[in-house]
Amino acid sequence: MDPLFQPVAALKGIGEKRGQALAKLDIHTPYELLYHIPRSYFDYREPIALSEAKLGNTCVIRIQIVRKLPPQYIRKNMTIFKAVATDGIMDVTIILYNNPYGFRALQEGTWYRMAGKLQGNLLRREMASPHILPDTSKQQILPNYPLTSGITSRIIIQAVRQAIQIMKERPFDWMPETMRQEHRLLHLWEALEQAHFPSDMEHMEAARRRLAFDELLQLQLGMMMRRAENRTKTAYRMIPNTMMEDFYASLPFTMTDGQHSAVEEILRDLCSNFPMNRLLQGDVGSGKTVVAAAACCFAAKNQMQSALMAPTEILATQHYQTLQTLLEPLGISVGLLTGSIRAKEKRAVYETLKSGELDVVVGTHAIFQKDVTFRKLALVITDEQHRFGVAQRAMLADKGGFPHKLVMSATPIPRTLALMIYGDLDISVLRELPKGRMPIKTYAVTGKLRQRAYGFIIKQLELGHQGYIVCPMIDERDESELQAVCSYAESVQKGAFAAYRVGLLHGKMKAVEKEQVMEAFRAHNLDLLVSTTVIEVGVDVPNATILLIENAERFGLSQLHQLRGRVGRGNAQSYCILMTDHVTDDCRARMQIMSRTTDGFAIAEADLQLRGPGDFFGEKQHGLPPLKIADLSHDTQLLHEVQETAKKILKKDPALQQKENRGLYIEVMRLFQQENENGRN
């Protein structure tokens, strides 16, 4: 067997026990060890003088051991080793806890470089548990690894050196030489060596670039192959000249150009030989629902069934009502399936789905329960898909045949990234909002202005409009937070808004209760809705023109944008008031951005900069395999190169079956196998 793929325990200094500890870091072979890339590095190249080092800071010093002191036995399992050292001008005490080996290795009179936190006071300086390097060491930049108990840096370093040696003896590289040169990349073995033991910063960057290239390329190839595979399946094929005039004619508005072209793209897909796999992207309020309705209408006219799946019951019910209004007059039947509808009604829906009587079903993931069978499910639409668990999407797969899939999302993602994240999807974008919309006016105020803010809300209510007050709840299970929201609603109903009808909506309410409140609000039997973030996604009441967000500092930009999208859905001027007494720079920056722009793209980008990619592209949102090296938000240039390369490779060898792509094929499979374990369908 190739020694790179033997059990890691076979390496010198590892053995069974440490092998098991390494398994906790997901390292089973020397090969996997090579991909245990350091988190950061200790750079010993430029030590500073003790007199210049700031107390409390981590720094690198160059010192000579003057005298080793006798060990102090404090108690069982606690021995302290100390040595006095000097940098030629000042002294420092080096302290090691329970580390007789490390202490024994230190030689009086010898020079070392040490990295650690400098502590003590002006007269006496100490450095405890430093990372130690002989002054004469050739390797001056050392890796800082993620560790686990029983595994020290030293153990990993020694094992990695052996693994690199194995690799060097039989250097293998899946990448053809021409490709490597074209993209100015290091050899794989060299990149791995430099990633662990860089000779300087340039090499470290070059190593990272090569490894990130590999990672992105494998990911992109996997996504593109998945898309190609989709095209080998036979779809439910619909008829291109299906009449849609009655649908367009019955709409209460004319569709925007964006909506028109999205519908065209979708209908074209529905008439093709292979199943559609399309993402419909559009900012909050851009009108995605009517596009979905058009697709369902088209399918129904082709005697096929569709399902529209929403992440919450509130949203499912709302979509149900929208589709019912739009489609039933055209003779298309629409049903609702959620967890909380009565068993009898549920059974009726089940039966009509099975017989084919029901054309469209709207619901939560209850749609995809085991006992639901369709006669001919040809189209599946999911709304606000990033809210969906992977499992739900998987369930969808086995309702028979290969239905066309449409996912709708308000998360704005730049195109290159979308290509990577949704590489297996085609994309339609709604760029503009429906005509006549005025940008929402947003103001950030402190609690001192609360009475004026309430007065402002009352003005809107007096004009016959409705409003929301959003109170954050960090933890929907927290009783005291729940209490706070309830008493807030009570106090405004008795106080400032005594003359109006105030409703309350929160996540702990039963689905039926929630629906009753939403229904009352929709029917304008309530003027003001005090709510937690359960209204965050999708809720659509165009008559609502004012939204006040309490403790606005608790929300991220994207969430504020989603919340704000609850107003500005009709033709009247809408307002958003962000209430916060928080005065950190970060919070101020967010409030300013919100006041300045209503453009979802700009806000997403600002969010990316303020919070970093970790949150924005959290794995949960996009369901990609975890990236170890590449950084989707910063490696844009590399991403371009990779996408071009991936296209070229697949053009010549669509299934990666040629000999020169064999190594690449294995890597892609490896990556996507991990992904499957992580659960994406």
Interface with Mg ion by CB under 5 A: which residues?
538
Q: Is 256 in the site for ligand ADP (CB under 6 A)?
A: yes
- The site partner of 576 among Mg ion, ligand ADP, none (C-beta below 5 to 8 Å per kind) is none
Distance CA 458, CA 405 (A): 44
Distance CA 276, CA 256 (A): 23
Q: For residue 508, give the DSSP letter.
A: T
Q: Is 540 in the site for ligand ADP (CB under 6 A)?
A: yes
| Least Å from the CB of residue 430 to ligand ADP | 7
- The backbone torsions φ and ψ at residue 144, rounded to the nearest 5 degrees and listed phi first, read -115, 110
The set of residues, in sequence order, having a beta carbon less than 8 Å from that of 176 and lying 6+ positions away, is: 660
| Least Å from the CB of residue 383 to Mg ion | 6
Q: Among 7, 120, 542, 556, which residue sits at the site for ligand ADP (rule: CB under 6 A)?
A: 542
Of the candidate spans 129-137, 240-248, 281-289, 639-647, the one that interacts with ligand ADP by CB under 6 A turns out to be 281-289
Sign of the Cα pseudo-torsion (351, 357, 358, 359, in order):
positive
Tell me whether residue 36 or residue 569 sits nearer to ligand ADP (CB atom).
569
| β-strand partners of 360 | 306, 334
Q: How do 141-144 and 40-43 pair as beta strands?
A: antiparallel
Q: For residue 311, give the DSSP letter.
A: S
Q: How do 111-120 and 58-68 pair as beta strands?
A: antiparallel
CA-to-CA dists, residue 296 to 29, 214, 293, 658, angstroms: 51, 41, 5, 42
3-class secondary structure, 466: strand
Tell me whether residue 162 or residue 256 sits nearer to ligand ADP (CB atom).
256
Distance CA 433, CA 287 (A): 7
Q: Among 130, 434, 467, 623, which residue sits at the site for ligand ADP (rule: CB under 6 A)?
A: 434
Neighbours of 332 (CB within 10 A): 21
Q: Is 210 in the site for ligand ADP (CB under 6 A)?
A: no
Distance CA 680, CA 625 (A): 9
Q: Among 162, 277, 286, 392, which residue sits at the site for ligand ADP (rule: CB under 6 A)?
A: 286
Distance CA 383, CA 286 (A): 13
Query: Are 303 and 270 in contact, with CB atoms under 8 Å apart?
Result: no
Of the candidate spans 124-132, 209-217, 282-290, 573-581, the one that interacts with ligand ADP by CB under 6 A turns out to be 282-290
Tell me whether residue 113 or residue 566 sits nearer to Mg ion (CB atom).
566
Of the candidate spans 15-23, 134-142, 283-291, 345-353, the one that interacts with ligand ADP by CB under 6 A turns out to be 283-291
Tell me whether residue 467 or residue 538 sits nearer to Mg ion (CB atom).
538
3-class secondary structure, 345: helix
- The site partner of 286 among Mg ion, ligand ADP, none (C-beta below 5 to 8 Å per kind) is ligand ADP
Q: Is 623 in the site for ligand ADP (CB under 6 A)?
A: no
| Least Å from the CB of residue 572 to ligand ADP | 12
Tell me whether residue 289 or residue 545 sits nearer to ligand ADP (CB atom).
289
- Reduce the secondary structure of 24-43 to three states and give it as a string: CCCCCCHHHHHCCCCCEEEE
Of the candidate spans 67-75, 252-260, 461-469, 649-657, the one that interacts with ligand ADP by CB under 6 A turns out to be 252-260
- The site partner of 282 among Mg ion, ligand ADP, none (C-beta below 5 to 8 Å per kind) is ligand ADP
Q: Among 404, 569, 590, 622, which residue sits at the site for ligand ADP (rule: CB under 6 A)?
A: 569
Of the candidate spans 221-229, 242-250, 286-294, 648-656, the one that interacts with ligand ADP by CB under 6 A turns out to be 286-294
Distance CA 148, CA 18 (A): 10
CA-to-CA dists, residue 443 to 284, 455, 574, 579, angstroms: 19, 14, 12, 8
Distance CA 201, CA 192 (A): 14
| Least Å from the CB of residue 364 to ligand ADP | 16
Tell me whether residue 97 or residue 253 sits nearer to ligand ADP (CB atom).
253
Name the E strands within 347-416.
360-363, 377-383, 404-409
Tell me whether residue 275 or residue 282 sits nearer to ligand ADP (CB atom).
282
| Least Å from the CB of residue 547 to ligand ADP | 15
Binding mask 288-327 for ligand ADP (x = CB under 6 A): xxx-------------------------------------
The set of residues, in sequence order, having a beta carbon less than 8 Å from that of 500 and lying 6+ positions away, is: 458, 461, 527, 528
- The site partner of 613 among ligand ADP, Mg ion, none (C-beta below 5 to 8 Å per kind) is none
Tokens encoding 439: 């940008």
Distance CA 552, CA 592 (A): 12
Q: Among 255, 330, 482, 520, which residue sits at the site for ligand ADP (rule: CB under 6 A)?
A: 255
- The site partner of 256 among ligand ADP, Mg ion, none (C-beta below 5 to 8 Å per kind) is ligand ADP
Taking the chain, what is the end-to-end CA distance rounded to the nearest angstrom? 33
| Least Å from the CB of residue 325 to ligand ADP | 10
Tell me whether residue 30 or residue 565 sits nearer to ligand ADP (CB atom).
565
Q: Among 38, 198, 282, 467, which residue sits at the site for ligand ADP (rule: CB under 6 A)?
A: 282
| Least Å from the CB of residue 287 to ligand ADP | 3
Q: Is 642 in the site for ligand ADP (CB under 6 A)?
A: no
Q: Is 417 in the site for ligand ADP (CB under 6 A)?
A: no
Distance CA 404, CA 424 (A): 13
Interface size with ligand ADP, residues (CB under 6 A): 17
Q: Is 285 in the site for ligand ADP (CB under 6 A)?
A: yes
Tell me whether residue 190 or residue 536 sits nearer to Mg ion (CB atom).
536
Of the candidate spans 124-132, 284-292, 386-394, 511-519, the one that interacts with ligand ADP by CB under 6 A turns out to be 284-292
| Least Å from the CB of residue 291 to ligand ADP | 8
Instruction: Compute and round to an integer the Cα radius of gyration of the chain.
Output: 31
Any idea what the Cα angle at residue 371 is, between residues 368 and 374, rounded to 5°?
A: 70
| Least Å from the CB of residue 368 to ligand ADP | 21
H-assigned helices in 617-659 = 619-622, 636-652
Distance CA 271, CA 236 (A): 8
Q: Is 23 in the site for ligand ADP (CB under 6 A)?
A: no
Tell me whether residue 198 or residue 287 sits nearer to Mg ion (CB atom).
287
| Least Å from the CB of residue 282 to ligand ADP | 5
Distance CA 485, CA 403 (A): 43
Q: Among 253, 357, 601, 655, which residue sits at the site for ligand ADP (rule: CB under 6 A)?
A: 253
Tell me whether residue 275 or residue 285 sits nearer to ligand ADP (CB atom).
285
């245990």: which residue's tokens? 36
Query: Are 390 and 680 in contact, with CB atoms under 8 Å apart?
Result: yes
Query: Are 546 and 465 in contact, with CB atoms under 8 Å apart?
Result: yes
Closest residue to ligand ADP in the complex (CB) = 287
CA-to-CA dists, residue 547 to 326, 466, 605, 633, angstroms: 28, 9, 24, 32
Taking Cα atoms as reference points, which of 583, 577, 579, 631 lies closest to residue 608? Answer: 631
Q: Among 33, 127, 284, 453, which residue sits at the site for ligand ADP (rule: CB under 6 A)?
A: 284
3-class secondary structure, 469: strand
| Least Å from the CB of residue 512 to ligand ADP | 23
**Which residue ranges make up the site for ligand ADP (CB under 6 A)?**
253, 255-256, 259, 282, 284-290, 434, 538, 540, 542, 569
